[in-house]
Structure 1
Amino acid sequence: MTKTLLAAALFASLAAPAFASDTPAERTFTRDGETYVYTTQIKTDRVVITGRSHPDGGPFELVVRGDSVTGFSGGIPVSFFMKGVQAKLMPAKLAAR
């Protein structure tokens, strides 16, 4: 169940790529009556997704490196693989001439 919800969070973050700014944009999505509010931060070698679920208010943090997703949700450790997920979360690089 937790993996399904976290995978949904990843898919929701894929729909709206983050652009560089001082404060990450807050995003939301709802699934099974729970609303998830989260931000994504792009680091050199990883993407960090941090947020809370409502109405419970349980925190979650996911770290995406390559195809690996690790972190916690409501204090419970999670770990799973999603093919190509980090590439989809990173902003597109423009070709230079």
Structure 2
Amino acid sequence: MFKTLFAATALLAAASPAFADDAAQRTFTRDGDTYTYTTVNKGKYVVISGRAASGGTFQLQVRGDHITGFSRGVPVSFTVPNAQAKLTKTDIALR
């Protein structure tokens, strides 16, 4: 669980213009594991759903600075400064 939690934090910290295309599948590697995910902007929150190559799945809801959801079936809740803004700022800029 902690490995995926750290990977999700890394994903948010490295947010890039790739998030503007909600339907596209993205990947990144963290601590030797590759994660594949999609994002969906729901307006008031962003949903990140994905799977680790090692087999675990995750689904996170990002509202403001707070992230909640499930990683490998375990509930998670943590804070990342400006998390939602990092996920949606490119989408807003493109409008």
Same-fold call, TM cutoff 0.5: yes
TM tier, smaller: 0.7 to 0.9
**Count of residue pairs brought into register by the alignment:** 91
Compare relative contact order (CA 8 Å, sep 6+) and give the higher one, 1 or 2.
Answer: 2
- Give yes or no for contact 1:40–1:47 (8 Å, CA) kept in 2: yes
- Give yes or no for contact 2:12–2:86 (8 Å, CA) kept in 1: no
**In percent, how many aligned pairs have the same letter?**
48
Compare CA radii of gyration and give the structure with the larger one.
Answer: 1
Q: CA deviation at 1:16?
A: 3.3
Give the TM-score normalised by the residue count of structure 1: 0.81
**Larger relative helix fraction:** 2
The letter for the 2-side match of 1:92 is: I
For structure 1, the residue ranges without an aligned partner over 5 or more in a row are none
For structure 2, the residue ranges without an aligned partner over 5 or more in a row are none
Root-mean-square deviation (Å): 1.9
Partner residue of 2:75 out of 42, 59, 77: 77
Partner residue of 2:60 out of 53, 56, 62: 62
